[in-house]
Structures are given as structure tokens and as C-alpha cells.
Amino acid sequence: MVTEARSRIVKRAVHAREVEAAAWLLLGMACIYRWHSSLGNPAHTADFYPVWHASYILLHGGTFYSSGPYGFVYLPSAATVFLPFRALGLHAAVSLSIALQLVCIVGACCLIVRAYNGPRLIIPISALVMVLSEATLSAEIFGNVDLYIPLFVAWMIFEIDRGDHKLAGIAYGASVAIKPLVVVPALLGLWRRNRSFLLTAIAVVVVLSLPGVLLTNVGLLFHKVLPFVANGEPTRVIQVQSTSINGVLRHEPQLLLTILRGAVGLMGAFTCISLGRRHVPESIRWLEVTVAGQVTVGLDAGYTFAHHLALALLLIPATAAPMAVSRRVPVLVPVLLLALPRHLPGWTMQSQQCVAMALVLIAMAYAACTPRRAPEGISTRAQC
């Protein structure tokens, strides 16, 4: 009897390993497919060229910013971060960057699942969804750099789970240095009066920005970049592809857009505060509030592309935590809708992404207001 029981356990273990190996194989094939198909797109150098060229300016002098609607729109720190890519030609640099970003997606899933002590099978499955998602497709087609961000956010969450807020600040600072896309962790640091987190994050950005400030002309940063990000006139030309409310409903009356964006802002603030007060481990709160804030910004921004929401898909590997809101079907379904690489019949991709963001925000607010109890005898810290 005992021998039969052991035999069944061994067979299940072997079966589990086979399933995990198959999942990793599919993930590897998906990464190769995404990398190869992205390089075949004629526009795959479009978004990477500005940071690649900015590194050239860092070495030879000039200005990062021009008066046109396109070009380098990041902090001077980005030129320093991507300086090593200047050792390669543009096409080789883009090819390497796309491959590295796919690795970053897998690494982000590993860090999140490890932080929450979840089953290893979640790593390749969640990474596969993210690699094949619209967010990854949107970034890789144009050679964007946004897919580095989820790795640093995941690293931040991992360090917060370990209680090391200085390393978490370094991780967050690195994400801002690449692209100041994620703002909520800074607000969380202020709210929690976490000086070590904020100071290390600021130090990373300042140190990486100094070469650009000292060696180049950054005078147009405030005259060009900030108006561009804040919905200035140059953004009008890209609204047709924007997934924000301002883009999807661009033909509607301005008063209606203002009311809707105001309502989304209030909903986002309510959701972030509600999630931030949940009785769950700090790392779960930080991830969920960061995602809720990013979704709110995505809906309310002057323009939003799918790759701006890549870190929202970290809710998928976060299902490793029993107390995560993404363990609930009403939250997970719109997250998966946000990840779909194709639009559903009768929809456009822009409207589908916009609706998915709205549903994610609403579902997270509902989940935050209807907490689930932890299983008896298991603390929330032990679960993660």
C-alpha cells in the first residue's frame, strides 16, 4: 500500500516536471517568434533611434531635444543608460535591445513569483502571456524601451518583500532613469515617509543624469518634453492610435472628455487608497497600487499606447500570492483582455484596450472594498 502511494507521488512529480518543461519550451519558442517578427517590421528602429542617437550626442556634444514632435523625450539619464548600445550599429543595437527586453519580461515574472513564494509553473505561463501580449507587440514593433520597466518594478517589489527599501529605491530609480513612466511608487514613498526609498531613487536618477546635464545642452527639456507629455499640440498627430479616453473619444465634445477624465482620476485615487489600506503584505500593496495608478494614468493621459501598460500585466504572475486581488476572476479577466494581442470581433484594438483598462480599475476597486480572509492558521506574511 505504501509502495503504491509512493509510486503515485513519483508519477505526479514527473508529470509536473514534464508540464513545466513544456511550458518553458513554449515560452522559448514564443520569445524567438516575437523577436524575429519584430525585426521584420519596417518601423522596428523608430522608437529606439532617439535614445541611441542621444548617446551619440552625449559623447560628441549637442542637444538631446529638438523642436519637432518626435525625437528624444526622456530624461538625460536615458542617454547614459543606453550608452553601451553605441558600440553597435542601429539595427544590431535594436536587435539586442528587443532580445534583452524579452528576457526582462521573464525575469520580472521570476522575481514576482519568487517574492510571493508561488509555484514555479506560474513563471513560464505568466511570462508566455506577457510575451505574446499586445503590450509586448506594441513595444517590439517600434523598438520601444518600455519593456525594461516591468523588470525594475518587479525588482522593487522583490526588495520590498525582503524589507530592503534602499535596494527597492535603486530599482525604482533605475526605472525612472530609463523612462519616467511609473510615478506611483514615489507617491507611496512620500505617503509612508520612506526616506531611504526616496533618497536612493533620487540619487540614481541624478547620478545617471549628470553626464547629460554637464556635457550637453538640455535647455529644451522643459519647453519641448513637458508640453508633449502634458497633451500639447504635437500629440494630436498620434491620437488616432492612442488607447486613452482622450484618444478613443477624440471626436466627442471636450466637456464630455473633461468630465470622464475627472471621474477616472477620482476613481483611480479611490482605488489606490483602498488598495493601500488592505491588510496584506507591503509588497502586495505596492504592486497593486502601482498597477492601479498606472492604469489610471493610462486612461487619463493625453495619449497612451499599449506598451505603456506592460507593467499592469505583472498582476498575472502576482496570482502566486493568495491575498492578491488578481486571484479573483473579476480582476484577472480584464487583465487578460488587456493582454490580448488581437482585438475581438466588433472592436478596434484602441477601444478594447481602453475598456480593458477601465474594467481593471473598477474590478480592483471592488476587490479592495470586499476583502477576503486569509486561510485559517496561515498568516498573510507566510503566504507571500
Asked whether residue 212 is assigned to any structural domain, the reply reads no
Task: Write the pLDDT tens digit of every residue in 264-315.
Answer: 999 999 999 999 999 899 999 999 999 999 999 999 988 888 999 999 999 9
CA 189 – CA 198 distance, rounded (Å): 6
Burial of 268: CB neighbours in 10 Å, binned 0-12, 13-18, 19+: buried
- Residue 329 maps to a domain: yes
Looking at the domain assignment, is residue 14 inside a domain?
no
**Residue 259 CB partners (closer than 8 Å, separation 6+):** none
Per-residue pLDDT reduced to its tens digit, 331-357:
999 999 999 998 999 899 999 999 999
Domain containing residue 265: 30-206+231-372
pLDDT in tens, 17-68: 888 899 999 999 999 999 998 888 888 888 899 899 989 888 888 888 765 5
- Cβ(154)–Cβ(111) under 8 Å? yes
Q: pLDDT (tens digit, 9 = 90+) per residue, 316-327?
A: 999 999 999 999
Q: How many domains does the chain have?
A: 1
80 belongs to a structural domain:
yes
pLDDT for residue 234 = 45
Strand partners, 63: 217
- What is the per-residue pLDDT across 214-272, written as a single tens digit (0 to 9) for each? 887 776 666 666 655 555 444 444 555 788 998 888 888 989 999 999 999 999 999 99
Comparing 85 with 240, the larger pLDDT belongs to 85
pLDDT of residue 40: 84
Task: Report pLDDT for 372.
Answer: 67
* pLDDT for residue 383: 37
Distance, CA of 316 to CA of 310 (rounded, Å): 11
221 within domain boundaries: no
What are 98-139's pLDDT values in tens digits?
999 999 999 999 999 999 999 999 999 999 999 999 999 989
Q: Collapse the DSSP code of 334 into the 3-class scheme (helix H, G, I; strand E, B; otherwise coil) and give the result.
A: helix
Let me know if residue 226 belongs to a domain: no
Q: Between the CA of residue 375 and those of 104, 276, 370, 379, 380, what are the distances in Å?
A: 33, 21, 16, 8, 9
- Give the model confidence (pLDDT) of 168-227 as tens digits: 999 999 999 999 999 999 988 888 788 899 999 999 999 999 998 888 777 666 666 665
Separation CA 335–CA 351 (nearest Å):
15
Q: Is residue 82 part of a domain?
A: yes
Please answer whether residues 188 and 276 qualify as being in contact, where contact means their C-beta atoms are separated by less than 8 angstroms: yes
Tell me the three cell numbers of residue 378.
496561515
pLDDT tens per residue across span 142-166: 889 999 999 999 999 999 999 999 9
The single residue listed with the C-alpha cell 500570492 is 321
CB 309 within 8 A of CB 357: yes
Residue 380 pLDDT class (50, 70, 90 cuts): very low
In a domain, residue 13? The reply is no
Compute the distance between CA of residue 141 and CA of residue 127 in angstroms, rounded to an integer: 18
The phi, psi pair for 352, rounded to 5°, reads: -65, -45
